Structure 1
Amino acid sequence: MIHTLAVSGYRSLRNLVLPLGQLNLVTGANGTGKSSLYRALRLLGDAALNTVVASLAREGGLPSTLWAGPEKIARSVRLGQHAVEGTPRQKPVSLRLGFAGDPFSYCIDLGYPPPGQTAFPLDPAIKRECIWHGGIYRRASVLVDRNNRLVQVAPGKKGKHEEPVILTKELSSTDSMLATIADPQRAPEMLVVRESIRGWRFYEGFRTDAASPVRIPQVGTFTPVLNNGGTDLPAALATIRMFGDREALERTIEDAFPGSRVEVDSRAARFEVQLRQHGLLRALSASELSDGTLRYLLWTAALLTPRPPELMVLNEPETSLHPDLLPALARLIMHASENTQLVVVSHSQLLIKALEENRMCSRLHLEKAFGETLLEGATLFNTPKWEWPVR
């Protein structure tokens, strides 16, 4: 489980360190940085897929994603005694992402490439990557260290007096060591971290309009994991019924739609979702269901997966749902949190109130001051300790 999430230099997240529990509820007004936090988590996931540089390019490149305020915000500025002014930069441009977990922790540091060495000077270059043991970065706890193009097993891992083991000296500045290097004998922890991050799942919103593929019968295959777009919903529900928690599926549908049950029509090897409701003579097909009903079925398939990941992130799951469905959605989320760590970003006060009734729920309320995202109530004493590797 991830205990600490750290982001520095990404959009409004100038220097944010968050404690994470089993079920995490991220709230805050519009513009406080909830979406930036969600995207920062996705960028961490992209590191294991070797797509972090491409993802930043799609956001407009490094200049568009960096913290736009001053390097430091003086106390006199916070007290209103002086206006916000830029100062000469003391440190290199840096966008840093990291987490501390069990048993390993990881961080990545991106910046500009050296001038004159590339035809794409605004694309980010990976400067540092580290994997270490324990929650707090220390040189003595580093297991695998990447400094620019050099990747090595840190000194002291194999023996107190041994020299570091070099894995490569020629790693491209656009390639993450997690996705590029596979050395199970000398650096098995790198494989563990990579596979763990690759298992993270992100669900941001499902297309449920009249032309959505979800409303059209699809070829059915064994689907233990609903894809990000939800287009394989019928196969995912059929997989839950056959290999997952069928009782939880039936209970979830009954909770949201009393007297109803979900069915999957599999004629001609094409699967179609159907909902049989009390009082009707036939089941309603996916093309007949409302946007809210179909979206709830999508969240059901995502959260009742037979292969729960180590981390699942939901961005505003209440979208398009009637308020009457939100208590049932909250119970579904709480049930899923028994098997996987969850981060839920939400605006809905009804969903927030329902989730907070769970003693395992940790609320992370974001606020903004001088353009910077802050965690409400965070102090020097209750903020998790975090250290970044220096370049």
Structure 2
Amino acid sequence: MITKITLENFFSFRHPTTIELNPDINILLGINGSGKSNFLKAIRLLYESIIGNGLEKVFLKEWSGFNAVANFHVEEQDHIKLSFEFDKSALQTISQQEGFQFHCNPIYELSLYKAGATGYYLSERLYSANVNPGQKDFIYMDMKNGRGVISTREEGSIKFQQYPQENKQIHFKQTEPVLRQISDPDRFYPLFTLKKALEELSSYYSFDTTLNSPIRQPSGYGTESKLLPDGQNLVTLLNNTKNHQAFHYDKIEEAIKKINPFFKGINFAFLGSKSYLVLREEHLAQTVSIEHISDGTLRYLLLLSILFNPKRGSLVCIDEPETGLHPDMINTVADAIKQASRKTQMIIATHSPLLLNSFDLDDVLIFEKNVYNETEVKSKSSDEFDGWIDDFLVGQAWLQGLIGGKRW
């Protein structure tokens, strides 16, 4: 879905840094503080700005605004810039042949400029870079502070419309991207195609599985087709998967049996509008309710509900999926990631050598800090090592300091 991301002045990314992504598996590797989470924040910002709760909420209220996010001295520069290049073929697949057909990979740029003590204004572009020398890029949108041009479809042809329009009540909120605010799929054809594709993005950073967490409480009715970022719809999602995606539900139960030989199945109980999840195990007179499922098993179940869900989305990010898991579970999770990557672009941040051992060196992106405390991202190929690196599993090579991403 996303072929490359370029970040500038965004948290630990200072100078323009381009990260090229594989269409299937991308494993982010590096020490704590190397920039992996900041890279995932860029993807989250894209989603929240266009589809989620809005740029203002995450940028100002959650991240504390410009000075907390920007990585530069004010006297040097005044903007944060994020650029995302999308695979044109993937966009067409996601839109199910109904969306705009981009002839080149579209690039969406979002820049934030400081305004006052805590404020900001936006610059936003959607364009396709022209590969022919001497020819200009094709612009679908070029907006700054709510003003600019957008390509629109009128009477079967593409025209460029200036905004805001005179004598018309079409105005865009200046603290949110225009791409978020467009709603007419016929008029804003290219923009709406990209916006539709971004609905297919899912990110998972941490799950609260403590005793009184919402995940362990009775679940209300829901229509979500994939796991929510906080996992609170786990019970509803699993029940829907059982009823409508039996093949994939069976895979979830098979994966649990791999790590628990006494596991017999998952049951769902209902009381009023609430549903409950319980596990059936051999030689136990009572079922094990979700309140008493072990922390590791619950985390494992959350991951399985993502990876074996055919409606998980076209891009899934997971931060440290190994957290709280027994090593036996990690191998199964790695296999599930591989299966999911056949149809979904996967971005996984990890510190687990065991998880790494299941993947190839070409799958890995290595995050390190340079002498100026700025994030740099590198990739390695077995060709760089004259073939001898093939004698090591990736996790082994990492632990021995052969590929970077370590302190020593």
> CA offsets, 1:197-255, max 9 Å, x none?
13311111111111112222223444421112212211111111111222322222223
Residue number in structure 2 paired with 1:310: 314
Question: Distance in 2 between the 1:164 and 1:219 partners?
Answer: 46
Question: Distance in 1 between the 2:233 and 2:150 partners?
Answer: 41
> CA offsets, 1:23-80, max 9 Å, x none?
1110101111111111111111122036113211121210111114x69xxxxxxxxx
Q: 2:225, 2:312 within 8 Å by CA — same for their partners in 1?
A: no
Residue number in structure 1 paired with 2:80: 95
Compared CA separation, residues 317 and 136, structure 1 to 2 (3 A): farther
Question: Distance in 1 between the 2:176 and 2:270 partners?
Answer: 45
Residue number in structure 1 paired with 2:368: 367
1:296 to 293, 300, 306: 300
Question: Secondary structure of 1:164's partner?
Answer: strand
Paired residues, what number? 347
2:290 to 279, 286, 289: 286
Q: 2:142, 2:149 within 8 Å by CA — same for their partners in 1?
A: yes
Alignment of 1:1-391 (within 5 A): 1-14=1-14, 15-21=16-22, 22-49=24-51, 51-57=54-60, 58-68=62-72, 89=76, 92-103=77-88, 104-113=106-115, 121-126=117-122, 128-133=123-128, 139-153=136-150, 164-168=160-164, 170-244=171-245, 245-269=248-272, 270-354=274-358, 356-357=359-360, 362-369=363-370, 370-377=372-379
Q: 1:311, 1:341 within 8 Å by CA — same for their partners in 2?
A: yes
Greater relative contact order (CA < 8 Å, ≥ 6 in sequence): 1
Q: 2:331, 2:355 within 8 Å by CA — same for their partners in 1?
A: yes
Q: 1:145, 1:153 within 8 Å by CA — same for their partners in 2?
A: yes
Question: Distance in 2 between the 1:246 and 1:347 partners?
Answer: 29
Question: Secondary structure of 2:363's partner?
Answer: strand
Q: 1:101, 1:135 within 8 Å by CA — same for their partners in 2?
A: no
Question: Distance in 1 between the 2:216 and 2:354 partners?
Answer: 28
Aligned-pair CA distance for 1:284: 1.2
Aligned-pair CA distance for 1:259: 4.5
Question: Secondary structure of 1:234's partner?
Answer: helix
Moved more, 168-177 or 318-327: 168-177
Aligned-pair CA distance for 1:183: 3.6
Q: 1:46, 1:52 within 8 Å by CA — same for their partners in 2?
A: yes
Letter in 1 for 2:63: E
Moved more, 28-37 or 169-178: 169-178
Question: Distance in 1 between the 2:161 and 2:27 partners?
Answer: 42
Structure 1 gaps, min length 5: 72-87, 114-119, 379-391
Q: CA RMSD in A?
A: 2.8
Letter in 2 for 1:197: L
Aligned-pair CA distance for 1:108: 0.5
Moved more, 257-266 or 340-349: 257-266
Aligned-pair CA distance for 1:330: 0.9
Compared CA separation, residues 332 and 256, structure 1 to 2 (3 A): farther
Question: Distance in 1 between the 2:236 and 2:330 partners?
Answer: 25
Compared CA separation, residues 275 and 47, structure 1 to 2 (3 A): same
Question: Distance in 2 between the 1:51 and 1:65 partners?
Answer: 16
Percent identity of the aligned residues? 25
Aligned-pair CA distance for 1:283: 2.5
Moved more, 244-253 or 231-240: 244-253
Residue number in structure 2 paired with 1:76: none
> CA offsets, 1:6-33, max 9 Å, x none?
1111011122211111111101011111
Aligned-pair CA distance for 1:139: 4.1
Q: 1:2, 1:20 within 8 Å by CA — same for their partners in 2?
A: yes
Letter in 2 for 1:338: R
Moved more, 48-57 or 318-327: 48-57
Compared CA separation, residues 194 and 342, structure 1 to 2 (3 A): same
Question: Distance in 2 between the 1:191 and 1:150 partners?
Answer: 19
